[in-house]
Each structure stands twice: as structure tokens, then as C-alpha cells.
Chain A
Amino acid sequence: MAAIGGFSGERGLRSVHDIGGLDFGAVPLADHEMADWAKRCNGLSFALRRKRAATLDEQRRHVESLGASYHQHEYFERQLLAWAQIVIDRGLISSAELGRMLADPPVLPPVTPLADLVRPQDAAPDAPPAAARFKPGDRVRVLKAEPPGHVRTPYYCRGHAGVIERVCGAFPNPEELAYRRPGLPATPLYRVRFLSRELWPDYAENPADTLDIEIYEHWLEAA
């Protein structure tokens, strides 16, 4: 693992997964076949999310909670470790059951049947989405905040001003979905366009280069 070197001095309180703008060396271009367990892990993730047994943001939150070991794991290793936490957190499997199944030799546990799959509260009744406060062309600034928890606003754009490129619609708030709450009413989501040279003081490429990113309304203020 390459040290975080070239773009030093801005780790701050950013989470371990929030790496935009850091230096991790050359891009590894070799591609590998997915391991069979990784395919099954991915299939299981899709099947469980389709059943609303958990949300993608819960999965992401648990991945982000790996802390310092995050970068020691590959993508599907992180995903699997997240699901091990989710099934326990949701009460789908107890850690004791998981422990017996992982014992050598495995002890098929007397499973506790679930009366019904406990639906997450994200199946809550629809609430009308909030009306969008900004329109395309509006100049906005991303809040410069460092909240703990699961957020989808990368560190590198916080505090910077850009222009609304479009309104994407309204979506349940991922900061709530990650903690098994409904995230309603749906939050307006925007694409905000920044000049790259304003995001990065030492930006060395074309001054006309831009970066577009989706930002939820509660992270924006008029600029």
C-alpha cells in the first residue's frame, strides 16, 4: 500500500473511505476474475436489498466502520465483513449462531425461526418530497462541516462554491437510511458543478476543467 504522501496535510476528520484528492500511487490496471465467494456475496447483497432486508447505505456505513483496516481489505472482503455486521445488527442471525456455523467442524445450529422478516423502517409510508430550494444556474456553497456518521458529501468539496447543474429529484436521506431509519421526506438532490482549480489550489491541468457531484440539499446554502 502506497503511503498517503503527495497530497498530505488534509486528513482532518475525514472518514477512511473518503479519499478523493489523496495520493495512492499508480492505478493498478490488471483485472481479475471475481472469486466465487465474492460473486455469492454480491448476489446475496442484491437479493437481501431487493427484499428490503437492509439498505445499501447500511452496507456502506458498516464498510466505513472498518476503520484503519479498510485499506487492508479488498472491495468484496469489505462488503462481506459489512454483511456479517448487518445480519447481527438486524437480528437476522445471532453472533452465537454464526460462531457455531464457523466452528471446526461446523455445528449446525438449531436456528431461531423468524416469524416474519423484520422489515426495515425504510418501507415507511411515502412522505411527499420536499420542494427543491435551488434551481439550475444557482450559485451554492457546500457546508464546511465534519459530522460523524455516514455522509455522502466528500470532504474535498466541503466549503466550496459551485453552480447547480440540475435537480436530480428527491431521494431518501442516506444519512438516515444508513441507521435503519426511513430518511423521509425525500430530500432534493442536485448536481453541483465546481471548477477543478477552485477545488484544488495547486490544480495543474486545464483551468476550464470541472467536477460535477451530487449533493443533498441540506448540505447546500446559497452563495
Chain B
Amino acid sequence: MSDSSSTGEYRRLQAAIEELLILKGIVAREEIDAEIAAMDARDHTRGARMVARAWVDPDYKARMLANGRAAAEEMGIAVGPLHLIVVENTPDVHNVIVCTLCSCYPRALLGMPPDWYKSAAYRARAVREPRKVLAEFGTTISDGVAIRVHDSTADMRYMVLPLRPAGTEGLPEVELAKLVNRDCLVGTRLPDRPAPGVG
């Protein structure tokens, strides 16, 4: 698992496969490097920009809920062939994303998933006891709100549009985006609250 000797074995195996594929002309080092650089450049701030725009622009929100990929591209965010479904939190519904079978995640938009998203515990339990799982993140969803779990196991990928936090009425879009943490885009947390005195 993570002791140094077995980590060394994985490193050697990865290097051997990579070297041989390059020697055979099947893939170029530069192509692998380009994929790594592209993935490093993706993170939740891209989804956060979309959320902040949706909070201030109802027309954009409608377009985002109708077609997530087009809404990303409209903001200059390239996501390739991603089939993105954006699910909206309301005062009555809270959405949570999981992939019970592997760890499907909108990587083309948000980058790599966090470790907890890939953990057996999250994958196994989020579909069966979502409130207990969210409580472990410090997130409480009131009993009157319905939780809608999305098991992302096939060709669609999902992002949550969280509720805009109270007390943010005067905040500009760029400040709103800073409140949108990674986990609220998966539904395990809520957006951050604005710092006192802001907005």
C-alpha cells in the first residue's frame, strides 16, 4: 500500500510501461506530459466560477441547468466531450454526488477527485445513509430537506449548484466564487460564509 518498498514497485512498474510504450512509438513522452499539465491546471475554481455566475445571472443559471458543458464553454472553460449535468440545491432539496462503482468525477472540469471521494467508505455509504456521511464532514441537512443522491456510474458527470449563502447580497461575482469550495460542488459541504464585514 503506502510503505516505501511497495511504492517503489509501483513507481518501477509505471516507468517500465511508460518507457516501453515510448520505445515502441505508441505514445510520446510529450503527450503524457501534456495530459499531466492539463490535469494540474484543472481544479474546483473552474466550477466555482460557473456557480458564482449562476448566482448572479438567472439566465446563465437556466442555461447551465439545461446544458452544463455549453455553460462551461460559454465561460471559456474547455471540458472536451464531458456530458455534464448540473443539479441545483433548493430550500427543499440537497444534492450529493457519489460513484459507488469506481470514482467517476467531472475531472475534465474540476480536476482530480479528493481522496475521500475515492474511499470505499464514501462510495459504499453515501447511497444508504447520506445524512450520517455528511455529518462526518460537519454538514447538517435539516430533516425537512430531501436529499437527492446521484450515483454517477455511467456516461454523465455531475456538479452541484449550491444555494447562495445568506448575507452575500452585495458581493460581486468574483468574491462569490471564492466562497465556493470544492466539496460543496459534490454536495458534502456547504459554501463558505463571507468574512464578517464583507458584503
Interface pair B115/A31, CB less than 8 Å apart: yes
CB within 8 Å of A: which B113-148 residues: 114-116, 118-125, 127-131, 133, 136-137, 143-148
Interface pair A43/B154, CB less than 8 Å apart: no
Interface pair B124/A20, CB less than 8 Å apart: yes
- A49 → chain B closest CB, angstroms: 10
Interface pair A196/B149, CB less than 8 Å apart: yes
Provide the residues of chain A in CB contact with B122, threshold 8 Å. Answer: 27
Contacts A117-B26, A212-B148 given: A20-B100 contact, CB under 8 Å?
Answer: yes
Contacts A152-B101, A209-B147, A213-B151 given: A114-B24 contact, CB under 8 Å?
Answer: yes
Contacts A24-B119, A44-B27 given: A93-B17 contact, CB under 8 Å?
Answer: yes
Provide the residues of chain A in CB contact with B156, threshold 8 Å. Answer: 168, 189, 191, 214
Contacts A42-B39, A101-B20 given: A7-B128 contact, CB under 8 Å?
Answer: yes
Residue among A29, A40, A200, A210 making CB contact with B128, cutoff 8 Å: A200
Instruction: Tell whether A112 is near chain B: CB-to-CB under 8 Å.
Output: yes
Provide the residues of chain B in CB contact with A41, threshold 8 Å. Answer: 14
Docked pose: A75 CA to B145 CA in angstroms: 33
Instruction: Tell whether A2 is near chain B: CB-to-CB under 8 Å.
Output: yes
Q: Which residue of A lies closest to B28 (CB)?
A: A47
Interface pair A24/B120, CB less than 8 Å apart: yes
Interface flags, B81-98, vs A, CB<8A=1, else 0: 001000000000000000
Provide the residues of chain B in CB contact with A7, threshold 8 Å. Answer: 128
Docked pose: A102 CA to B16 CA in angstroms: 6
3 residue pairs, one from A and one from B, having the closest CB atoms: A20-B100, A214-B154, A43-B35
Residues of B within 8 A of A (CB): 1-2, 7, 10-21, 23-27, 31-36, 39-40, 83, 100-103, 112, 114-116, 118-125, 127-131, 133, 136-137, 143-156
